[in-house]
Amino acid sequence: MSKIVACYKWVLDESDIRINSDLSVDFSKAKGKISDYDRNAIEAAVKLAEAVGAKPVGLTFGSSKARQSLKDALSRGLEEAFWVKAEEAENADGAVTARALAAGIKAMGDVALVICAEGASDTYARQTASRIGALLDLPVVTSVLRVTVEGNTVTAVRKLDDCLETVKFELPGVISVLPEAFQPTIPGLKAVMAAGKKPVTEYDCGSLGVNLVSARKVMEVKAYAQERRNIIIEGDNAAAKVAAVVSNLKKEGVL
Amino acid sequence: MSESEKFDAIIVGAGPAGAACAYTLAREGKEVLVIERGDTPGSKNVTGGRIYTYALEMLDQGLSEEAALERKVTREQVMLLGGQRAITIDFHDPSFNRDGHPPMSYTVLRAPFDEWLAGKAEEMGAMVACGIRVDGLIEKDGKITGVIAGEDEMYADVVVAADGVNSLLAQKAGLIGEIDFNTVGVGVKEVIELPASTIEERFRLTNPEEGVACMILGCTEGIHGGGFLYTNKESISLGCVFMPGEVARHKKSIQEIFQDLKMHPAVYPLIAGGETVEYSGHLVGEAGYRGIPKQIYREGFVMIGDAAGFVINTGYSVRGMDLAILSGIAAARAIVNASSPAEIGPLYMQELERIQLLPTMRATDGYFDVLQTGWLYDRMPALATAVMADLYSVDAQPPAKLSRGIREQMKAHGISVWDVIKLGFKGVKI
Ligand SMILES: Cc1cc2nc3c(=O)[nH]c(=O)nc-3n(C[C@H](O)[C@H](O)[C@H](O)COP(=O)(O)OP(=O)(O)OC[C@H]3O[C@@H](n4cnc5c(N)ncnc54)[C@H](O)[C@@H]3O)c2cc1C
């Protein structure tokens, strides 16, 4: 049975990330989770596989921390999980990530459709689907709002700035789905229990021959915080207050 | 569903009660399923902040050493607040923390602790399913045979309700009714982050392992209740418990009274500069032995921990987590030893006696009466601090006679000698 692959990323939960007073970022207390948007990709894979009788599987490129993601992913209706493992995943750029995922896709074989989210909830770089398509020489359709598969033909509706574009392509191919498409369902008890018994395949980057060298280096991560002037204009005279506002805005160069 | 998929026990709730029960059952080779509604065990759980280690040691020797705990409690404090004044009693007994023995108690944060304990149960072989809320029970021929969660049904010889105070399952089983607002307190709590060294300086602790447990009286505007403060490794748990019925009649909201506590001149310097990283609220049983429902089991069903009302509040300490663990062990022993599901309940009651849980609760029953004394929460701390103010005030005038001063202050605070005698009578029954 051919596979529909949902790619997902194990990211830090942004609600646990702290900003220190010097604008440095504290990740130390953050727990992991499956990127929110990738849950939509998983849902899409499960729904499409059900419709066409394919096998929905999950694929992640991640460090040893991503082990925690497998049960969660499998409880969402995927039948098997594949994990391309490398500690380098934590600082990988889009090219490395796509190379690792493409290698995983090749290794598992018999893949009809690859589904990514439009972007990961941490970096939202929007590169993975296109890069995987390029590496595997497959058609790529991004910004997908709706998708149907009939026989070998995929019909996808793309949401662009001010219009909807409908495109068709023949399998195999790669799509990326928008955060508003395929609302994920919350797994039930039996699904959670079954997840622990589903097969997991680990791939080692070395044996897959993945080049893990990032061309891009992260130099610094700093929080962005809007600087506030904290000026309070007091007084009873409205005209004087308005004049003070205007003069302050002029001083800031915004007027 | 096939018979083979039936569990020996389904435990609902992965708090200390559920996890301890699962740990013990799995260790004895039972097929156990724990169902927890939080995305991870403990993610939404609330406690004040201190756990007694004897219960963990009873669960398994050495467990308290590897547990995800904060600081061992080396100082026991009571703070009496009266207006801007404060008296702090600071008790220290090195024998509570002797070398070669587990320290008597630790401060604790629930998210890491619950996750750790549930993880231990998983290591023993229990299956833990998180992010799932149990909605109801399955009943057949008058017996509880399983649980319903969403669209799924799951069966077991026995369902263990470890779902905490105001247990939904106990209600569904018909063993408790709607919550009685005279038997529970409403707790609010903030976790305030501070560097470890700041905590050590402010609380005069000599190293990062040591900590303070402090109960605060006189911070509830006369409402039956009190505050608490526990030092964690890099944060302070500060909270307050109130009787909800009295709060409803009070003009200030819980948040406002709690804010006043934070700003009190004796409290604010302890938390100044800290960052509140968590704000939570939860119910806590206040009725002690009398709060235990008449019946805490049915065929195929037992209640443990807060679900069974196992909390002791003496005013100077709160004990719920240790009793939760003990009752989890007791239920597990009953389940292991029962030769038929019908035997589990009666055996459980015996185990609760044997493990000293029920005797402990009976022995502390009298505290409830003492704590019903209304003037303990405002006039007593006000009086004590006023007497102190008299004692320590020095000026050019001759001081008033001490005994007369105290009598006058008692009168001014509306506490009669008779009130004190009545309290004494309640006290001697403890
Ligand atoms: C403000 C406050 C201060 C306290 N201070 C202390 C203290 O310092 N020391 C102490 O020992 N005790 C203290 N206690 C009491 C102590 O927290 C409790 O007694 C203890 O947590 C009880 O453990 P439990 O496992 O029975 O229940 P809980 O810890 O409440 O756990 C119940 C679990 O069940 C889950 N659950 C509930 N319903 C469902 C459902 N339908 N389906 C699936 N899962 C469900 C919950 O998510 C939770 O994880 C305090 C309590 C409060 C509120």
User: Who has greater pLDDT, B136 or A235?
Assistant: B136
- A160 lies in the same domain as A77: yes
| A167 and A251 assigned to the same domain | no
> Does A219 reside within a domain?
no
Residue B1 has what pLDDT? Answer: 43
Q: What is the CATH number of the domain that holds A11?
A: 3.40.50.620
Output the pLDDT for position B241: 93
Q: Are residues A144 and A87 in the same domain?
A: yes
User: What is the number of structural domains in chain A?
Assistant: 2
Torsion of CA B238, B243, B247, B250, to 10 degrees: -100
- Cα B262 to ligand 1 centre (Å): 24
Please name which of A81, A79, A42 lies closest in space to residue A60, comparing C-alpha atoms.
A81
Is B118's C-beta closer than 6 angstroms to any atom of ligand 1? no
Q: Is residue A199 assigned to a domain?
A: yes
| Residue A163, number of CB atoms within 10 A of its CB | 7
**Are A187 and A113 part of one and the same domain?**
yes
What is the Cα–Cα distance from A89 to A12, expressed in whole angstroms?
13
Q: How many CA atoms lie within 13 A of B37 on its CB side?
A: 14
Q: What is the pLDDT of residues B227-272, one digit of tens each?
A: 999 999 999 999 999 988 888 888 888 999 999 999 999 999 999 9
Residue A189, domain member (yes or no)? yes
Residues A165 and A249 grouped into a single domain: no
A120 and A233: one domain?
no
**For residue B388, how many other CB atoms are within 10 A of its CB?**
16
Same domain, A38 and A145: yes
CA dihedral B36, B38, B44, B45 (to 10 degrees): 10
Please work out whether the CB of residue B128 comes within 6 Å of at least one atom of ligand 1: no
* A186 chain-B contacts, CB cut-off 8 A: 131
The span from the CA of B315 to the CA of B312, in Å, is 9
Instruction: Tell me the Cα Rg of chain A.
Output: 23
pLDDT at B3: 45
Query: What are the phi and psi torsion angles at B237 (to 5°)?
Result: -95, 120
Local structure of residue B309 (DSSP, 8 states) = T
Average pLDDT over residues A88-112: 95
Q: Please name the residue that has the structure tokens 């389940």.
A: B335
Question: Do A200 and A244 fall within a single domain?
Answer: no
Instruction: Between A124 and A227, name the one with better pLDDT.
Output: A124
Instruction: Give a yes or no: residue A104 inside a domain.
Output: yes
Q: Do A201 and A229 belong to one domain?
A: no
- Six-digit token string for B36: 């927890």
CA distance A19 to B75: 33
A66 pLDDT band, cuts 50/70/90, is very high
Judging contacts by C-beta atoms under 8 Å, the chain A residues touching residue B149 are 188-189
Same domain, A24 and A98: yes
Give chain B's domains with CATH numbers. 3-70+108-178+290-355 (3.50.50.60), 184-285 (3.30.9.90), 369-428 (no CATH)
Q: Are residues A87 and A132 in the same domain?
A: yes
Give the type of residue at B80. L
A218 belongs to a structural domain: no
Tell me how close the Cα of A57 comes to any Cα of chain B, in angstroms. 21
HSE-up of B188 (CA within 13 Å, CB side)?
15
DSSP code at position B394: -
| Host H or E run for residue A39 | helix A36-52
* A20 inside domain: yes
pLDDT of residue B2: 44
- What is the ipTM, given to two decimal places? 0.77
Of the candidates B40, B132, B151, which has its C-beta nearest A192's C-beta? B132
Mean pLDDT computed over A40-52: 96
Ligand 1 atom 4, closest CA: B48
Kindly state whether residue A217 falls inside one of the protein's structural domains.
no
Half-sphere exposure of B172 (CA within 13 A, CB side): 21
Q: What would the DSSP string read from start to end of B210-234?
A: EEEEEEEES-STTSSEEEEEEE-SS
CA of B12 to the centre of ligand 1 (A): 12
Residue A200 shares a structural domain with residue A245? no
In a domain, A95, yes or no: yes
DSSP A54-91: -EEEEEEEE-GGGHHHHHHHHHTT-SEEEEEE-GGGGG
Q: Residue A235: give the domain boundaries.
A: 225-255
**Do the Cβ atoms of A12 and A51 come closer than 8 Å?**
no
Q: Per-residue confidence of chain B (430 residues) as pLDDT tens digits? A: 444 579 999 999 999 999 999 999 999 999 999 999 999 999 888 888 999 999 999 999 999 999 999 999 999 999 999 999 999 999 999 889 888 899 999 999 999 999 999 999 999 999 999 999 999 999 999 999 999 999 999 999 999 999 999 999 999 999 999 888 788 899 999 999 999 999 999 999 999 999 999 999 998 888 888 999 999 999 999 999 998 888 888 888 899 999 999 999 999 999 999 999 899 999 998 889 999 999 999 999 999 999 999 999 888 888 999 999 999 999 999 999 999 989 999 999 999 999 999 999 999 988 888 888 888 888 888 888 888 888 888 888 888 888 888 888 888 888 888 888 888 777 777 7
Closest ligand 1 atom number to CA of residue B241: 1
Is there a cis peptide before residue A139, judged by omega within 30 degrees of 0? Answer: no
pLDDT tens across A167-212, in order?
999 999 999 999 999 999 899 999 999 998 999 999 999 899 999 9
Please tell me the predicted confidence (pLDDT) of residue A234. 86
Measured between beta carbons, which residues in chain A are less than 8 angstroms from residue B40? Answer: 31
Cα–Cα distance, B93 to A26 (Å, whole number): 38
DSSP character string of B154-213: EEEEEEEE---SS-HHHHHTTSS-SPPTTSEEEEEEEEEE--HHHHHHHTT-SSTTEEEE
Q: Do A190 and B154 touch (CB under 8 A)?
A: yes
CB contact under 8 A, A188 and B150: yes
Closest residue by Cα to residue A46 from A83, A8, A94, A14: A8
Chain mean position to CA B228: 11
CA distance A22 to A58: 39
